[in-house]
């Protein structure tokens, strides 16, 4: 693979000589060619930018130096031109793998407010073009992004890695984050390696690793997991601030039955204001489910010490009795963070239907634990 870099800061690419990419170059697997874009300017100041048409802040990179560079480098159908820009498509392992199949990558590194759009249009007429972003934040220029893309791509080239297995096992290869890893010594500064990893029981080790990969992914990157879905396919998704109004309506509707069953109006869910709901949404991990655009179910959880405190399981009155509450309860347990060692919830002391559902789900009544007036606590250990 041949890689070219068009930049006004060629020094940024010194690291290509180092470490693994450097080794790949020395081994003949890749060729790096770094080009100072100013080489293709002709004025005394070697100008590469100018003010934007239409006005506005900042400077735009001029088209001519890029055009001349493409000509000089013979950019044609065998090349993929990569524009690194915060407005590009998100870079991920799948894209790295795709780029690793190309024979030539040409990185055009933007600085200032971006590159004149006609450069991208022109590049499309002579090569494949990808506009790529590292993520939702802004760097000063595309150079660091081009280096990151390079490292992710080059290490996937056949013959690059000594150990092909570590390519398969690493984070993202199977859609999960990697499990925690340990090496010697078995005990260090009061922290022990989990016993199962030293047991020699390969099946238990594999199960532990999978379990922890899933937990990490749930906690840090729930977007990587297939969403929990109801029988009809509606996904359970994280609540957004705009859901507050519908949550308020739903909880007022849902807790009337509780009030009647427990013969008390003294239930916070019935009295909260829109601002109260907005406030607790910032403190609780809240999930909602919609059916035909209507918010019909919700649940929330938050950590209290090592207990995952579950609450506000609500199902629209017309949809109760169909198992939706049970699915929401399963979901909120599944998304509990790694530190959670138990689940905790409370319900009205006279809410018999709730008691039945929670008992079926493995919760036990805990009359020994303090509960709000007229309510009873239930707990369940996490496996
Ligand atoms: Cl590719 N370029 C710049 N300038 N900022 C970024 C980026 C790229 N990716 C994330 N932020």
217 Cα–ligand 1 center, Å = 25
Pair 287, 236: CB distance under 8 Å: yes
What backbone phi and psi angles, to 5 degrees, belong to 16? -60, -20
- In angstroms, the Cα distances linking 48 to 62, 84, 87, 174, 228 are 6, 17, 21, 43, 50
Residues 189 and 289 reside in one and the same domain: no
- Residue 80 resides in a domain: yes
Residues 250 and 374 reside in one and the same domain: yes
Residues 10 and 152 reside in one and the same domain: yes
| Res. 171: pLDDT tops 80 | no
- Residue 345 resides in a domain: yes
Mean pLDDT of the 280-285 span: 96
Q: How far apart are CA 83 and CA 88, in angstroms?
A: 8
Give the contacts of 202 (CB within 8 A, at least 6 positions apart): none
- Residue 229 resides in a domain: no
Regarding the beta carbon of 86 and ligand 1, being less than 6 Å apart is answered yes
Mean pLDDT of the 293-313 span: 96
Residues 191 and 327 reside in one and the same domain: no
The percentage of residues in the chain with a pLDDT greater than 90, rounded to a whole number, is: 78
User: Could you tell which of 84, 130, 135, 152 is best to mutate to test the pocket of ligand 1, judged by most ligand atoms within 8 Å of the CB?
Assistant: 84
- Give the β-pairing of 307-315 and 187-188: unpaired
Residues 141 and 214 reside in one and the same domain: no
- Residue 13 resides in a domain: yes
95 Cα–ligand 1 center, Å = 16
Residues 52 and 122 reside in one and the same domain: yes
Regarding the beta carbon of 109 and ligand 1, being less than 6 Å apart is answered no
pLDDT tens sequence across 52-80 = 999 999 999 999 999 999 999 999 999 99
Q: How many CA atoms lie within 13 A of 16 on its CB side?
A: 23
Helix residue ranges, H only, the chain: 19-26, 63-72, 93-99, 117-126, 143-154, 164-169, 202-220, 244-262, 268-271, 274-283, 324-334, 352-360
Regarding the beta carbon of 251 and ligand 1, being less than 6 Å apart is answered no
- In angstroms, the Cα distances linking 278 to 107, 275, 284, 310 are 45, 5, 10, 18
| Res. 177: pLDDT tops 60 | yes
**Ligand 1 atom nearest to CA at 88:** 1
302 Cα–ligand 1 center, Å = 34
- Closest C-alpha to ligand 1, atom 7: 86
Last residue of a domain, one of 140, 164, 188: 164
Give the contacts of 381 (CB within 8 A, at least 6 positions apart): 341, 342, 343
Name the band, by pLDDT with cuts 50, 70 and 90, for residue 163.
Answer: very low
User: Could you tell which of 107, 142, 153 is best to mutate to test the pocket of ligand 1, judged by most ligand atoms within 8 Å of the CB?
Assistant: 142
CATH number at residue 207: 1.10.1270.20
CA-based end-to-end distance of the chain: 49
What backbone phi and psi angles, to 5 degrees, belong to 76? -140, -160
Residues 300 and 363 reside in one and the same domain: yes
Name the band, by pLDDT with cuts 50, 70 and 90, for residue 274.
Answer: very high
Residues 52 and 89 reside in one and the same domain: yes
The number of domains in the chain is 3
Mean pLDDT of the 226-243 span: 86
pLDDT at 161 (0 to 100)? 67
pLDDT tens sequence across 361-377 = 999 999 999 999 999 99
| Res. 205: pLDDT tops 80 | yes
CATH number at residue 269: 3.40.630.30
User: Could you tell which of 139, 146, 149, 153 is best to mutate to test the pocket of ligand 1, judged by most ligand atoms within 8 Å of the CB?
Assistant: 139
Residues 11 and 158 reside in one and the same domain: yes
- In angstroms, the Cα distances linking 328 to 73, 315, 335 are 58, 9, 11
* Domain carrying residue 219: 172-224
Residues 188 and 106 reside in one and the same domain: no
CATH number at residue 99: 3.40.1280.10
| Res. 165: pLDDT tops 60 | no
Residues 55 and 36 reside in one and the same domain: yes
145 Cα–ligand 1 center, Å = 6
Q: How far apart are CA 203 and CA 31, in angstroms?
A: 43
Residues 256 and 332 reside in one and the same domain: yes
- Residue 135 resides in a domain: yes
């Amino acid at each position: 693979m041949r890689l070219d870099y068009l930049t006004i800061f060629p020094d940024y690419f010194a690291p290509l000589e180092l470490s693994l990419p450097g080794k790949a170059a020395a081994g003949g697997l890749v060729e790096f060619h770094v080009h100072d874009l100013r080489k293709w300017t002709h004025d005394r100041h070697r100008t590469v930018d100018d003010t934007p048409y239409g006005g506005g802040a900042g400077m735009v990179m001029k088209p001519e130096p890029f055009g001349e560079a493409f000509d000089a480098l013979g950019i044609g159908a065998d090349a993929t031109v990569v524009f690194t820009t915060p407005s590009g498509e998100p870079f991920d392992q799948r894209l790295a793998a795709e780029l690793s199949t190309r024979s030539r990558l040409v990185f055009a590194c933007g600085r200032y407010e971006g590159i004149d759009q006609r450069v991208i249009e022109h590049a499309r007429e002579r090569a494949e073009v990808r506009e790529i972003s590292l993520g939702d934040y802004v760097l000063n220029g595309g150079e660091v992004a081009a280096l990151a893309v390079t490292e992710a791509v080059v290490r996937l080239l056949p013959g690059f890695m000594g150990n092909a297995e570590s390519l398969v096992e690493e984070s993202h290869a199977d859609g999960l984050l990697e499990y925690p890893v340990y090496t010697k010594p078995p005990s260090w500064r009061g922290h022990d390696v989990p016993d199962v990893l030293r047991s020699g029981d390969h099946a238990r080790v594999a199960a532990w690793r999978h379990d922890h990969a899933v937990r990490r992914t749930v906690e840090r990157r729930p977007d990587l997991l297939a969403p929990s879905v109801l029988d009809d396919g509606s996904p359970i998704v994280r609540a957004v601030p705009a859901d507050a109004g519908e949550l308020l309506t739903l909880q007022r509707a849902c807790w009337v039955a509780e009030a009647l069953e427990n013969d008390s109006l003294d239930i916070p869910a019935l009295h909260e204001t829109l601002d109260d709901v907005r406030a607790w949404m910032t403190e609780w991990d809240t999930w909602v489910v919609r059916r035909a655009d209507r918010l019909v179910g919700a649940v929330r959880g938050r950590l209290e010490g090592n207990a995952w405190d579950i609450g506000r399981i609500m199902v629209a009155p017309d949809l109760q009795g169909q198992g939706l509450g049970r699915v929401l309860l399963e979901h909120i347990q599944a998304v509990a963070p790694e530190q959670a060692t138990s689940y905790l919830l409370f319900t009205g002391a006279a809410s018999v239907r709730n008691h039945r559902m929670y008992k079926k789900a493995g919760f036990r009544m805990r009359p020994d634990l303090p509960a709000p007036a007229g309510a009873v606590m239930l707990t369940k250990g996490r496996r």
